[in-house]
Structure 1
Amino acid sequence: MMIIDNQNDQLKSKLIRNSTIDNNENNDYNKCSIGFQWDHLENICKDLNECQIGTHTCHEALRCDNTIGSFLCVRVQDCGTGYTINADTYECDDIDECKLNIHHCGSDYRCRNTQGSFKCDRIRCPQGQVLVNGFCRRTNCDQQQQSSNMMIFNYELGICQPKKDPCSNNPCLPTERCLINPNDADKFECVLHCSPGYRFNQKTMLCEDIDECFEQIDQCELNQQCKNMDGYYQCECKLGYEFDQQQRRYCVDTNECLRPDIINECLKQSKICLNTIGSYRCDCPNGYQWNSTIEKCQDINECLKFELNHCEHLCHNTIGNYECKCFDGYRLMANKQNCTDIDECFDWNPFGQSQSNSQSSSSSKIDSKKCHGICRNQIGSYRCECPKGFQFDNHSNIDNHCIDLNECDNNETICPYSLASTTTRKHCINLYGSYECADIQCPFGYEFRRTKQSIQCIWLDKQRNHLSIGNDYHQIDYLYYSIYRTKTRFLNGTNSMYLYTVRLDSYPNNENRTYFILRLINTKWLPLQYPEFEKYDPKPDDFQLAKRNHFNLRLNSRQNEANVEIVWPLYGPQKIQLELLSSGYRFGKFIRQKSILILFVGEFDKF
């Protein structure tokens, strides 16, 4: 048995009414209506406080007040006079009293809206105007209107308006016309009225037709003729012309050749219709002539007629026409008659960059790689040649391919005698497209060693590690490099091209530490074989002698290996001399080494 307190009897009966009957004991959530929840202790539905648990949907600008089974959204503060609540944002928006016309400004004042209110500003008229019914109006007509004598000022409306027309009341007889006096707009005169296209005759006292065509006062356009009518005139198109289809005002040429009867007329003569301005004719088309024997139009062979053949080289007849062609090595000019030499070498580029020109469209131009050397244009042809220091490769499958000429091979007398010895010649070092005579003699106590591209001087005293007086290094290396122009063109300071490495022993804890120093000794330009080729270079403004920042000395993590790298493009022809000084231990012995790197940046890329 359930006992209900008398004081809460009314509330609990309301709570119970908001419950629904469900025989399923486990389905507690379906026992209560929306806005209520089941109380397991009292076994009744109790009000759910949406404001407390945060399930309400009130805007952040409104306050949530809980009610039995629901909630209310209440604005905390009123907007006040001059504002209204925005239904979308719940914010207070200003009321524009001027725009809604709910202000109380008089006719001599202008309403100006302000935040939450409005102001009435008195209207001030400029000089020469007065305020009439809230509008500024003039008090008289301006000087130009007064001088025309056709305007008068209306003081009631405050505006300048036209004078009253004295002819507006039709003061003249029906057969007369009222005309305003040009000198006095207030006066008029009555003259005998004639319809347009007629003129009054003082002798006959009658209206007579005006012949606009005879008097040449018509307005007919070009290719039109005037036709006078009673009281008016007409503009008709001349023979061979017709009115344009759009405005029907101007006369344009009639294309008689579109008419079937005209076409058949010409076909009967085995001819075609040729339209002319204002007419037509039956004739043979261009490139044909009339043959009276067969009574047909026959093709003209212009190539056989000197007066018709304007070709400079070759003429090829076609049906109804002819075309000009050129000998090999020439191209047809824009006039389609004359021929000009094809510069087959125009698209050739020693740096592999294609040139753009109208000649590039010619099928006779050579491939930019057909001349793997120097291309020389000739009238109607071209020839390939190798620059100094190169020769044609007779064993290659590529035509006109230039390869480096090794001047040092089998040529012992190519270099002069050394300055230090009259019996020993300078050492010949082959380079790409050139060679270098190196005057290098190892000091006393050093061993001379030679490879194709390097010379070494090695200290011979294996027992004593210290150097003799005047000899500062245990090893001196002279290394010669040939650098192609495009070999370094891709460098931009963030990438590099490897050049040379020196490696010494490494020790832990930086004991017996190694030292490396890279210096730029000298740079100089070398003579150009072909100065005219500078125009082909894609970046001629970047030409400059090498600087120290063109090279980088990169050490490994153990600080015992030094790598010389190129980090910026090098341009030639120039000679660059670098010096790398190294000191440290190698195979347990202290060593000082000097490496001299001689770079020759060539004038040409690799062919």
Structure 2
Amino acid sequence: MGYQCGIVFRTCCVKGQEGIDVSISDDAPKKEQVEISKEELDQEDPYLHDGCRGGGPCSQQCRDTGSSYVCSCFVGYQLQSDGVNCEDINECITGTHSCGIGQTCVNTLGSFRCQRDTSCGTGYELTDDSRCKDIDECETGTHNCPPDFICQNTPGSFRCRPKLQCMNGFIQDALGNCIDINECVSTNMPCPAGQICINTDGSYPCQRISPSCGRGYHLNEDGTRCVDVDECSSSNQPCGEGHVCINAPGNYRCECKSGYSFDVISRTCIDINECRRYPGRLCAHKCENTPGSYYCTCTMGFKLSTDGRSCEDLNECESSPCSQECANVYGSYQCYCRRGFQLSDIDGISCEDIDECALPTGGHICSFRCVNIPGSFQCTCPSTGYRLAPNARNCQDIDECVAESHNCSFNETCFNIQGGFRCLSLECPENYRKSGDT
């Protein structure tokens, strides 16, 4: 039988029957009857050499090294500490299995199998490969259909169909009884326009509608049928102020609009004052109630934000409220004037010129005369004989004699005085002559 087949035979047939010699079994071939040629020996498993034939000391695989035997195990087994026997590897404990989520590993000799964790449910069975397969109750005979019914398999269950067929206008119920079909309900417009459907057993007749219609309906233009009156579309609204009219077949109803509530005393819809009902919760500054709603406003110096309820500072200086300089402050603004001007006491935004020449403190300090100009002042001097000093406040005498701006003749001598000059003529008496210009 060979070594490996002998191991399998001994495991399956001799286990638990100690004392039985496999070699004397009638079904087992005798070792001396097997003749192996040298070519066959070369083609055999390299683990099966002369010393390992006939089983050897190993329980599964044996390799003869010449001086000793080396035992090994099949896939799914591991060698025990004695170096001879093999024991099964529990892949479920060692974690070497390949079972996925929702499956449980079940160990087997030399291998393992994956079993589904949850059951398949009613009408299904678990296959060997852990899949759910539908149970055909009709084929297995596990259905409970009466003799007058036919079993029809469905996924996970079955149906019992009665063998008895009903006439037109009837349908079978779950017990196989024939019940009437109400064609007036199950069929869309079974009768032509201007006629009504009347159900009977197995059929239905159509009857012409009476020319008079009930309340909430009126005849159409053809006078063949009654149509609903849309009370809400008429110019005379049936609902009062603050109501919404909702049309219904043959009737209508009134409901309160958003922002209104129904008053049981007056039987009308009254406005909800949201600002009073939710004080300080709707708006950051001020809340103004309107019919059916409300809106938010801000105090002076602020503007409404994009969210419609918060307030943010308004930059009044962007609209140039001041005549000269403007400084924005939180919730307001402040006007300032440039040098030489002062803020008006009347409106607080205009700037007035300061007349420095009229100040009692003499802020101009001009030596001769002060002339007021917008925002400042200027010092002036007499029209002739003087000019303004570099400090723009004092007056300096002009020396016309040095500047040669006088009009003295050749025979006259120019003599400077404060604010002018004199032309001096020196004539010597008889028997005298000039000594120099003077």
User: Considering the TM-score relative to the shorter chain, is it more than 0.5?
Assistant: no
With normalisation by structure 1, the TM-score equals 0.22
Based on CA coordinates, which of the two structures has the bigger radius of gyration?
2
Which of structures 1 and 2 has the larger relative contact order (alpha carbons within 8 angstroms, sep 6+)? Answer: 1
With normalisation by structure 2, the TM-score equals 0.29
